[in-house]
């Protein structure tokens, strides 16, 4: 069996980082408290001091810290993103996760020794795109968008020497990664411009008798009955009236969960498995990290005998958005 | 938190809430603000984010005990509000077990929100600031004498 992939877990705060490290993450990924990362939510993320504390904590236990600078520099403010890259290098993160080619070029030239990863926001789905970024910017790893089937992931891995990281668990969206402007349609702001999808200041949860309504900048996104599970207030997961029928016209709220195909993911040579959710709390990070660590260790211990334990699925189902978990694109028949 | 003690999901019987609503509510607000001010004094809450809480009115309602507490943050202190004159800027409502699970970092607020066990209404951004502030607190290591199975 090939080497076990690294388990890469999210950290939106120092307690979440410690939870990831303590529960078996090989690496944590995080971001600064500003719009240079795509989880720019109020009160979340790291300032230089908490980041230094986090790096010290992770390194003391032999784990890696990856910093996401995965939004796109805005006109007139390119220097803000370049300064974030410089600061990350100074702080001694193990790798910087970048999406913008201009910024990749800057990092490569200014800090040739710094390890660089291509973010999922970079939207590279083919080995040609990934090899281009290796040749031009020296990237060591690429995070694949969640649109490829397992066979397509394998094809990418066979045709590149760049390490490949895939998503293993977390909320799914429409996965038009790095190119999604849906949130801007309702409120003028989106991950690519301000680092947040459906920023909280535009979100309104209205409790009415028997139902709860979600609005994004006044646009009604969904109405949940008292016994229905709620989801994130994003347009892609809204229920809309289309030709007289009201339903999830774009996508149902679901979570990705790859436990059942973990042996295949390892077999094709994936280098790292990523968990979504820097916006979630330390409790979520603990639960998900612990579960995926147990699954990976069980696979390492007895490859052929691997089976998904009901307790793992129960733990992951509890923290999932929506009532169902899927294999996402991994098992789709398309090519 | 210890990993061998877990708080189960429970709901107190209906008469508790019926009784609780008839009891004075001020002790809840006093106790809650005392706790929050103690956290302030220990430097657990980040000063940068506290500014966003200035003069906001908060309400915490516990469905199954029938208790509720309103408070505000002003002049660097949390203060109980006994007779709120307006709708709160941010309101939380849940059963007691959900609050205990949150405080023990056993459950994630988003999880409880998705499963409709935690209601958050009012200013959503303020709610996010409060949630993320509590998530970022490094609670002193508690050594609970309780041991489950």
Domain at B41, CATH number? 3.30.1050.10
Average the pLDDT over B70-77 and give the result: 93
Instruction: Count chain A–chain B contacts defined by CB atoms under 8 A.
Output: 90
Question: Checking DSSP bridges between strand A203-208 and strand B118-122, what pairing results, if any?
Answer: unpaired
**CATH homologous superfamily for the domain A6-172+254-326:** Phosphoenolpyruvate-binding domains (3.20.20.60)
* pTM of the shown model: 0.91
Of A200, A230, A320, the CB nearest to B124: A200
Q: What is the pLDDT of residue B147?
A: 46
Domain span at B38:
14-136
The total of structural domains in chain B comes to 1
Domain limits of chain A? Answer: 6-172+254-326, 182-247
Question: Collapsing DSSP states into helix, strand and coil, what is residue B66?
Answer: coil
Q: Kindly state whether residue B28 falls inside one of the protein's structural domains.
A: yes
Q: Which residues, at least 6 apart from A266, have a Cβ–Cβ distance to it below 8 Å?
A: A1, A2, A4, A5, A299
Cα–Cα distances in angstroms (integers) from residue A21 to residues A11, A171, A272, A307, B58, in the given order = 10, 21, 16, 25, 34
pLDDT, tens digit, 9 for 90 and up, residues B16-73: 777 777 777 777 888 888 888 988 888 888 777 888 999 999 999 999 888 889 999 9
Q: What is the ipTM of this complex?
A: 0.85
Inside any domain, residue B123: yes
pLDDT of A152 higher than 60: yes
Q: Does the pLDDT value for residue A252 go beyond 90?
A: no
Q: Which of B115, B124, B128 sits opposite A229 (nearest CB)?
A: B115
The verdict on residue B65 lying in a domain is yes
**By C-alpha distance, which of A241, A308, A319 is closest to A286?**
A319
Q: Is 90 exceeded by the pLDDT of residue A322?
A: no
B145 in a domain, yes or no? no
User: pLDDT digits over A55-89, tens only?
Assistant: 999 999 999 999 999 999 999 999 999 999 999 99
Q: Is A43 close to B133, i.e. CB distance below 8 A? A: yes
What confidence tier does A232 reach under pLDDT thresholds 50, 70, 90? confident
Per the CB < 8 Å rule, is A280 touching B119?
no
Say yes or no for a CB contact (<8 Å) between B111 and A284. yes
Q: Which pLDDT value is given to residue A261?
A: 95
Kind of pairing between the strands at B57-62 and A6-10: unpaired
Does residue A143 surpass a pLDDT of 90? yes
Residue numbers in A near B120 (CB within 8 A)? 205
Closest CA of chain A from B106, distance in Å: 6
């Amino acid at each position: 069996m090939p080497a076990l992939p690294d388990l890469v877990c999210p950290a939106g705060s120092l307690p979440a980082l410690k939870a990831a490290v303590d529960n078996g993450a090989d690496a944590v990924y995080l971001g600064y408290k500003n719009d240079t990362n795509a989880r720019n939510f109020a009160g979340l993320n790291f300032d230089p001091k908490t980041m230094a504390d986090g790096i010290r904590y992770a390194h003391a236990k032999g784990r890696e810290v990856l910093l996401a600078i995965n939004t796109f520099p805005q006109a007139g403010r390119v220097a803000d993103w370049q300064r974030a890259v410089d600061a990350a290098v100074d702080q001694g993160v193990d790798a910087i996760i970048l999406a913008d080619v201009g910024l990749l070029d800057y990092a490569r030239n200014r800090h040739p020794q710094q390890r660089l990863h291509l973010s999922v926001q970079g939207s590279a789905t083919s080995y040609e795109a990934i090899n281009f970024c290796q040749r031009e910017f020296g990237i060591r790893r690429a995070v694949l968008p969640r649109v490829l089937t397992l066979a397509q992931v394998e094809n990418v891995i066979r045709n590149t020497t760049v390490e490949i990281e895939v998503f293993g668990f977390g909320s799914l969206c429409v996965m038009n990664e790095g190119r999604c402007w849906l949130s801007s349609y309702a409120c003028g702001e989106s991950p690519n411009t301000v680092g947040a999808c459906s920023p909280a200041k535009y979100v309104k949860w209205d409790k009415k008798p028997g139902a709860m309504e979600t609005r994004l900048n006044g646009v009604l996104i969904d109405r949940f009955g008292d016994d229905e599970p709620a989801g994130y207030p994003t347009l892609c997961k809204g229920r809309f009236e289309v030709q007289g029928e009201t339903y999830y016209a774009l996508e149902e709220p679901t979570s990705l969960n790859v436990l059942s195909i973990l042996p295949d993911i390892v077999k094709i040579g994936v280098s790292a498995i990523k968990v979504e959710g820097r916006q979630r709390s330390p409790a979520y990070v603990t639960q998900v990290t612990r579960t995926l660590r147990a699954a990976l260790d069980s696979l390492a211990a007895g490859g052929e005998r691997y089976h998904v334990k009901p307790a793992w699925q129960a733990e992951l189902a509890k923290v999932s958005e929506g009532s169902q978990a899927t294999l996402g694109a991994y098992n789709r028949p398309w090519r | 938190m210890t990993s061998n003690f877990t708080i189960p999901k429970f709901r107190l019987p209906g008469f508790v809430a019926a009784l609780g609503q008839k009891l004075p509510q001020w002790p809840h607000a006093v106790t809650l603000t005392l706790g929050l001010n103690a956290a302030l004094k220990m430097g657990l809450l980040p000063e940068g984010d506290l500014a966003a809480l200035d003069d906001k009115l908060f309400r915490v309602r516990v469905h199954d005990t029938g208790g509720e507490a309103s408070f505000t943050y002003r002049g660097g202190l949390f203060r109980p509000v006994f007779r709120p004159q307006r709708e709160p800027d941010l309101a939380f409502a849940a059963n007691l077990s959900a609050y205990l699970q949150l405080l023990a970092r056993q459950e994630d607020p988003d999880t409880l929100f998705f499963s409709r066990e935690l209601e958050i209404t009012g200013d959503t951004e303020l709610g996010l600031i409060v949630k993320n502030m509590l998530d970022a607190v490094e609670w002193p290591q508690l050594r609970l004498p309780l041991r489950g199975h």
